[in-house]
């Protein structure tokens, strides 16, 4: 889904307090290393002047099983047993789904892992000289300096290479590629290559997985200015140089990689051969020229949206670790917003962000460092459309469309239907459903395809063009429901059976049930959306959607998680899947369905935080923003900001006190801040729906709406706000503010200024 950028009149941002972070000490833990990435390669940069390390990652690096048997990584063949299961569940056998399995043990998806660390050791010196390491979000460049020593690193979006440039007078460096990282398997077969040529030194590392034909190879070209270079296996020793340039790539492969060809490609980059597509390359070092090519893509994307909360300049100047100790600081929200967009962009390319984004320094990543699709992935990418990062949605689309053949297998093998069913976990390669157990019957989750396609629908609405791949996939989701929704209740409504609400179960009951609210919302949304895009099937699919059971309001006045008699809600849980109709769907709103919105708000108020997972808090905030509850948004944000969820890198953790490296909070937080300020549908604009009292003034620039307009919003402590809209399409929308609703007519190419009161 390529998108052409429209030039903006905004003043380009520059790296600084709003658009970067810094620390006064090198990182000692990989979790605190500054991050760079291009959606393919990732780099974790420690910035130690005397013993620097750069951990190299790549989205394709997932560890194979080693047994060569992929049969257990296929969906279970259960379709012939489905009718009997449905009969038992409809008859009241609440535990029937616990036996709906082929007996396999829980099988995790293949784990993501780091490649190696690039080590740069030099004699200890300047121990008391001032030190600073920083990352510039506008460039993707990390920089570390002490006295006359400087190291700069970025990962090029233009040339798919990790670039590092080290300078110092009389520079001595011992360089090597080191695979010894925490959790690396003992049976990992590692071979080193070291070659010295007139063009520079070449280091290679080849690692073969235990019991597998799969391997990966890293290649680093070292170009030295001045001094001498000699081989000191497994690395090289540089002495008396003034600068060292390193170009690194990783490739996962079967068999042997042609290291000679890879090194030739890196030499061509160093010499700037074949880079004539950018005629205004700067004179000077190769590093600057490669950085300029990278900026044409990275800075263009990063600069599209900015958030300024008029924070205290003194707090803006603080290092990130100190700023994190001030959870009520506007400067902290500004920096986390900027860092979240930066990390989200940097992790998205070949694939969207994993649970760890694109980064890890440990082979034992929690939950396999996979893509958990039943909540985490969509929460991480929630800001993509509004925050003007189509690169993120394109990466998300690449994952979805690449795996559709496997989704078809899931539908056929488990449910005996046409169409598609998405898995709850994937390593990025396989889209088959095979990660499930009695307590986590994830193979019963049928809402996944609609949930994962929703961001692609939002993207198309934002940019005003239908992606034919998304249209075709929506039809396949509708076909699944056409075959699957065959059972009815006594009132004649279609029943979703079996049904599953990730990852919860009714109070005192079992996990596989009937009519989970998320499944009801997904079925209706998928059928109606597909009908809008396929007029030849529209009447049939709309009629089917009309027969899906409506949501139920329980005895507590809350929207029930299961719309089936006798199934009671379990409130203390981290997931909020039952409120899918509120966010991200527009099925339940305070404007169109006020009774259901009140019930949804009651359900949100009753929901506990269970184990304090970051994604639960921010999912809560997103739903609260849609329900115009600024106080609840502020409380959910405070749970994260007070809970010590962020490392010095400004990457987040899954649990409080920086427990388990995880990108959910870091990547989802920008979406929360946008949703509390601006919300849009193809026919509605909502301004400042959930503004917390802690943000009395600010400016949000460049946000995109789903009716095709760019928007700048400013608000002031005196209760006034101004919105500047730059519409790309002629359209009438409903404008919603604290004063009520009114029609808003927009004309393509004509700016529109709106002044409103915030209270």
Residue 309 pLDDT > 60: yes
Q: Please, which residues bridge with residue 409 across strands?
A: none
Over pLDDT 90: what percentage of the chain? 89
Among the listed residues 87, 83, 81, the one whose alpha carbon sits nearest the alpha carbon of residue 99: 81
pLDDT at 488: 97
**Separation CA 690–CA 633 (nearest Å):** 7
pLDDT at 280: 55
716 CA to centre of own chain: 32
Tell me the C-alpha to C-alpha distance, in Å, between residue 102 and each of 93, 413, 438.
19, 12, 11
Residue 540 pLDDT > 70: yes
pLDDT at 6: 39
**CATH class given for the domain over 71-77+103-109+347-608:** mainly alpha
pLDDT at 202: 94
Count other C-beta atoms under 10 Å from residue 555's C-beta: 8
Count other C-beta atoms under 10 Å from residue 275's C-beta: 16
Query: What are the phi and psi torsion angles at 395 (to 5°)?
Result: -65, -40
DSSP string for 34-57: EEEE-SSEEEEE---SSEEEEEEE
pLDDT at 68: 54
User: Residue 7's pLDDT band (boundaries 50, 70, 90)?
Assistant: very low
- Domain residue spans of the chain: 20-62+115-299, 71-77+103-109+347-608
User: Does domain 20-62+115-299 bear CATH number 3.40.47.10?
Assistant: no
pLDDT at 2: 46
User: Residue 72's pLDDT band (boundaries 50, 70, 90)?
Assistant: confident
pLDDT tens profile 227-284: 999 999 999 999 999 999 999 999 998 777 788 888 889 988 888 876 655 445 555 5
pLDDT at 12: 39
pLDDT at 596: 98
- List alpha helices for 364-389, DSSP H: 376-380
On whether the CB atoms of residues 204 and 383 are closer than 8 A, the answer is: no
User: Residue 758's pLDDT band (boundaries 50, 70, 90)?
Assistant: confident
Q: What's the whole-number average pLDDT of the chain? A: 94
* Mean per-residue pLDDT, 429-447: 95
**Separation CA 131–CA 121 (nearest Å):** 17
Query: Can you read off the two tokens belonging to residue 74?
Result: 């296929």
pLDDT tens profile 85-132: 999 999 999 999 999 999 999 999 999 999 999 999 999 887 789 999
pLDDT tens profile 192-204: 999 998 778 999 9
pLDDT tens profile 656-686: 999 999 999 999 999 999 999 999 999 999 9
pLDDT at 255: 72
* Mean per-residue pLDDT, 553-573: 96
Per the model's pLDDT, the better-predicted residue between 645 and 695 turns out to be 645
**Separation CA 145–CA 149 (nearest Å):** 6
On whether the CB atoms of residues 433 and 442 are closer than 8 A, the answer is: yes
Query: Can you read off the two tokens belonging to residue 328?
Result: 């009520």
**20-62+115-299 and 71-77+103-109+347-608 share one CATH topology?**
no
Residue 753 pLDDT > 70: yes
pLDDT at 694: 85
Residue 451 pLDDT > 50: yes
Rg (CA), the chain: 26
pLDDT at 201: 93
* Mean per-residue pLDDT, 444-452: 98
User: Residue 471's pLDDT band (boundaries 50, 70, 90)?
Assistant: very high
């Amino acid at each position: 889904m390529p998108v052409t950028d429209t030039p903006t009149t905004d003043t380009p941002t520059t790296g600084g307090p709003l658009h970067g972070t810094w620390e006064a000490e090198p990182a000692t833990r990989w979790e605190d290393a500054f991050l760079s990435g291009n959606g393919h390669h990732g780099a974790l940069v420690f910035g130690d002047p005397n013993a620097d390390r750069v951990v190299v990652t790549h989205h394709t690096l997932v560890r194979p099983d080693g047994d060569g048997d992929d049969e257990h990584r296929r969906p279970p063949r259960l379709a012939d047993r489905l009718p009997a299961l449905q009969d038992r569940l409809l008859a009241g056998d609440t535990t029937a789904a616990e036996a709906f399995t082929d007996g396999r043990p829980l099988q995790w998806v293949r784990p993501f892992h780091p490649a190696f660390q690039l080590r740069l050791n030099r004699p200890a010196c300047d121990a008391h000289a001032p030190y600073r390491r920083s990352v510039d979000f506008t460039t993707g460049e990390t920089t570390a300096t002490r006295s006359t020593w400087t190291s700069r690193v970025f990962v090029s979006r233009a040339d798919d290479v990790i670039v590092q440039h080290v300078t110092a007078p009389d520079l001595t460096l011992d360089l090597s590629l080191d695979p010894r990282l925490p959790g690396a398997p003992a049976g990992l077969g590692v071979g080193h290559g070291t070659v010295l040529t007139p063009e520079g030194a070449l280091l290679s590392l080849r690692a073969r997985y235990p019991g597998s034909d799969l391997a990966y190879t890293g290649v680093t070209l070292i170009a030295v200015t001045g001094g001498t270079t000699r081989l000191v296996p497994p690395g090289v020793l540089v002495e008396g140089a003034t600068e060292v340039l390193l170009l690194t790539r990783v490739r996962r492969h079967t068999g042997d990689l042609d290291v000679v060809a890879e090194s030739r490609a890196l030499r061509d980059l160093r010499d700037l051969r074949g880079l004539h597509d950018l005629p205004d390359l700067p004179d000077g070092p190769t590093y600057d020229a490669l950085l300029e090519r990278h900026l044409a893509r990275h800075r263009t994307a990063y600069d599209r949206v900015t958030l300024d909360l008029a924070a205290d300049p003194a707090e803006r100047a603080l290092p990130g670790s100190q700023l994190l100790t001030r959870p009520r600081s506007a400067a902290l929200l500004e920096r986390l917003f900027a860092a979240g967009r930066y990390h989200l962009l940097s992790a998205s390319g070949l694939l969207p962000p994993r649970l760890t984004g694109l980064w890890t320094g440990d082979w034992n990543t929690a939950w396999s460092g996979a893509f958990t699709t039943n909540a985490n992935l969509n929460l991480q990418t929630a800001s993509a459309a509004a925050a003007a990062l189509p690169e993120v949605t394109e990466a998300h689309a690449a994952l979805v469309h690449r795996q559709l053949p496997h989704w078809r297998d899931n539908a056929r093998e488990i449910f005996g239907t046409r169409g598609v069913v998405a898995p709850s976990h994937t390593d990025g390669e396989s889209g088959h459903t095979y990660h499930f157990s009695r307590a986590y019957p994830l193979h019963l989750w049928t809402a996944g395809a609609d949930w994962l396609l929703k961001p692609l629908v939002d993207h198309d609405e934002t940019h005003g063009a239908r992606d034919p791949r998304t249209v075709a996939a929506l039809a396949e989701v509708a076909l699944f429901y056409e075959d699957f929704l065959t059972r009815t209740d006594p009132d004649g409504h279609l029943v979703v059976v079996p049904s599953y609400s990730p990852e919860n179960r009714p109070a005192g009951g079992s996990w596989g049930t009937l009519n989970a609210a998320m499944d009801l919302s997904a079925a209706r949304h998928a059928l109606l959306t597909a009908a809008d895009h396929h007029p030849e099937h529209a009447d049939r699919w709309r009629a089917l959607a009309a027969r899906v059971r409506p949501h139920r309001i329980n005895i507590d006045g809350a929207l029930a998680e299961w719309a089936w008699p006798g199934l009671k809600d379990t409130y203390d849980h981290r997931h909020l899947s039952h409120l899918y109709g509120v966010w991200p769907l527009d099925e339940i709103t305070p404007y169109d369905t006020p009774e259901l919105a009140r019930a949804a708000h009651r359900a949100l108020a009753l929901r506990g935080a269970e184990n304090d997972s970051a994604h639960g808090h921010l999912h809560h905030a997103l739903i609260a923003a849609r329900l115009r509850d600024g106080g609840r948004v502020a409380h959910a944000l405070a749970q994260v900001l007070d809970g010590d969820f962020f490392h010095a890198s400004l990457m987040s953790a899954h649990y409080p006190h920086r427990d388990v490296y995880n990108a959910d909070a870091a990547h989802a937080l920008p979406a929360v801040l946008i949703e509390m300020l601006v919300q849009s549908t193809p026919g509605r604009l909502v301004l400042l729906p959930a503004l917390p009292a802690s943000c009395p003034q600010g400016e949000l620039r460049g946000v995109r709406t789903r009716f095709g307009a760019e928007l700048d919003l400013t608000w002031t402590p005196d209760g006034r706000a101004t919105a500047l809209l730059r519409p790309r399409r002629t359209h009438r929308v409903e404008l919603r503010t604290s004063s009520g609703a009114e029609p808003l007519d927009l004309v393509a190419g004509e700016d529109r200024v709106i002044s409103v009161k915030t209270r």
